[in-house]
Amino acid sequence: MALIGILGGMGPLATVDFMDRVVRLTSTAGAACDQQHLPLLIANLPHIPDRSKAMLEAGEDPLPAMLDGIDMLNRNGVELIAIPCNSAHYWFDAIRGHSKAPILHIAETCVAAVPHGTRRVAVLATGGTLHSELYQKMLSARGMEPVVPDDATQQRIDACIVAVKAGEFGESALQLAAALADLKARGAQAAVMGCTEIPLAARELSAPPMTLVDSTLELARATVSYALARGWNTRQ
Amino acid sequence: MALIGILGGMGPLATVDFMDRVVRLTSTAGAACDQQHLPLLIANLPHIPDRSKAMLEAGEDPLPAMLDGIDMLNRNGVELIAIPCNSAHYWFDAIRGHSKAPILHIAETCVAAVPHGTRRVAVLATGGTLHSELYQKMLSARGMEPVVPDDATQQRIDACIVAVKAGEFGESALQLAAALADLKARGAQAAVMGCTEIPLAARELSAPPMTLVDSTLELARATVSYALARGWNTRQ
């Protein structure tokens, strides 16, 4: 039995959303009973220090706690790891170098899903991820122009993320809607939701003003594809 | 750091629902950022043989696979275990006897939440759980009268559960609504949803005809209460 490891808790509701996506995508792919689903081992470790604060304000380094989680998953024999937190991918090379099991890269899956022909793509992410330029570099490398929020818009995105983490979805949606209006006015044709809290706010919007590409969903798609291609939904 | 173990995958979407409840209840209890949430280790093992078939049709024994999952959780040092599957509790004594960590009993948490003064309580469960009389005995012991579905109504409940496991929520809700109408006609004043798939169908009903007590939610409440009382939401 091949297990998929998930390093989660960053944040916990985003991990729930990721797991929900994996299960529903597996159903859509044909699973009609429990036994046709994928075995998962989810280490939901919310005590990992804040990733964005570590990048922006020299806050406590989250890497040791993340590596502890990666060790736990590997000790249990997982054969693939997914990390449904974009900011954590700032430390991707160190995490990948530490792990026996291969790790999918959330931003690679997300950027690959931007609709063909899109030119100007807004980056919705934590201040830390934005500062790391992870998404900006990947979009540019694929010939797209990243639209980076100005300070006032980024404050709205930060407030949206904090509100989701506190379970305040109405507030999160208000902040996100205002940020998207700003970014549309600046010519963005689509946006990557490069923080796994943002899709939970976006779900509250009745009509987003542009195409929103969901990093949680795209990581889940890549995870399910990887596993189904290897028959991990069949008991072995 | 105290970890809560979850033996899941029975079914996988019910495990997602349980985790979602745990996270939202922790938010409601005051968690305002990731680091105030509870560490969880979720073994989502959908390949565990069908519990109801084992009870009713002498299908493959699920106990060895469940004990493997319990061993995995204990090896990782969990200090409490929750199993969001009612049918699995047919083997509760054997599982509890095997586990170092204490295990919460889903039916005890669910029956304790039936509103005071309710006399006739319908039992919504798999055929296997119904056959085990788990809920009937607990309700009777607390002075309530269990209303057991007749064969035609139980066929609707079984169809509801199968539909949820296949991701067919519209069909699941139709079957559940018809079953509840039958049970109301027989005098049920409330129902225990003693199968963790049923709450996912109930969420599709606009106006259930009686109080529905949700075993997933009640197990999540007991889990969060246990953990918060011990300060497991604070990093240690």
| Mutation site, B27, B28, B34, interface A, largest A CB count within 10 A | B34
Residues 6+ apart with CB under 8 A from B231: none
Query: Cα-flanking dihedrals φ and ψ of residue A126, to 5°?
Result: -65, 160
Query: What distance in Å separates residue A168's CA from the closest CA in chain B?
Result: 10
CA distance B33 to chain A (A): 5
C-beta pairs of A113-118 under 8 Å, 24+ apart in sequence: A113/A213, A113/A218, A113/A221, A114/A139, A114/A142, A114/A144, A114/A190, A114/A192, A114/A213, A115/A190, A115/A211, A115/A213, A118/A144, A118/A189, A118/A190, A118/A211
- Rg of chain B's alpha carbons, rounded to an integer? 17
Contact (CB<8Å) A40/B9:
yes
Q: Hunting for tokens 């931007």 — which residue is that?
A: A114
pLDDT over 70 percentage in chain B: 99
Residue B58 pLDDT: 86
Name residue, tokens 């009509």.
Answer: A207
Q: Which residue of B has its CA nearest to A41?
A: B43
- Residue B98 touches chain A, beta carbons under 8 Å: no
Fold equal for B3-106+218-229 and B108-214 = yes
| A37·B166 Cβ contact <8 A | no
Q: What's the confidence (pLDDT) of residue A236?
A: 55
Q: What is the pLDDT of residue A235?
A: 67
- Please name which of B180, B177, B183, B176 lies closest in space to residue B145, comparing C-alpha atoms: B183
- Chain A contact for B13 (CB, 8 A cutoff): yes
User: At a CB cut-off of 8 Å and minimum separation 6, what does B205 contact?
Assistant: B173, B176, B177, B180
Q: Are A2 and A235 in contact (CB under 8 A)?
A: no
As assigned by CATH, the class of the B108-214 domain is alpha beta
- DSSP per position, B128-150: HHHHHTHHHHHHHHTT-EEE---
Report ipTM for this prediction: 0.95
Confidence of residue B1 (pLDDT cuts 50, 70, 90): confident
pLDDT band at residue B236 using 50, 70 and 90 as cut-offs: low
Contact A51, A60 (CB under 8 A): no
Q: CB–CB of A111/A133 below 8 Å?
A: no
With residues binned 3-state (H G I as helix, E B as strand, rest as coil), the percentages for chain B, rounded to 5, are 55, 15, 35
**Contact yes or no for B46 and A34 at CB 8 A:** yes
- CB-CB contact of A169 with A163 (8 Å): yes
Domain residue ranges of chain A, discontinuous segments joined by +: 3-106+218-229, 108-214
pLDDT at res. A164: 93
The domain B3-106+218-229: what is its CATH number? 3.40.50.1860
**Closest-approach residue (CA) in chain B for A38:** B46
Phi, psi of A85 (to 5 degrees): -150, 120
Q: Tell me if residue B110 is catalytic.
A: no
Query: Cα(first)–Cα(last) distance of chain A, in Å?
Result: 5
Tokens of A181: 């209006």
State yes or no: is B85 an active-site residue: yes
Q: pLDDT digit string (tens) for B13-46?
A: 999 999 999 999 999 999 999 999 999 999 999 9
**A6, A34, A235: best to mutate for the B interface, most B CBs within 10 A:** A34
Q: Does A53 touch chain B (CB under 8 A)?
A: no
pLDDT along chain A (236 residues), means of 10: 95 97 96 95 97 92 98 98 97 98 98 97 96 97 97 97 92 97 98 97 95 98 98 81
Q: Is A41's CB within 8 Å of B42's CB?
A: yes
pLDDT tens for B78-137 read 999 999 999 999 999 999 999 999 999 999 999 999 999 999 999 999 999 999 999 999
The Cα of B93 is separated from the nearest Cα of chain A by a number of Å equal to 24
Percent of residues, chain A, with pLDDT higher than 70: 99
Give the strand pairing for B40-44 and A40-44. Answer: antiparallel
Q: Does residue B235 carry a pLDDT above 70?
A: no
Q: Residues A113-142: pLDDT tens digits?
A: 999 999 999 999 999 999 999 999 999 999
- Three-state DSSP class for B35? helix
Q: What is the dihedral of CA A11, A12, A15, A20, to 10 degrees?
A: -140
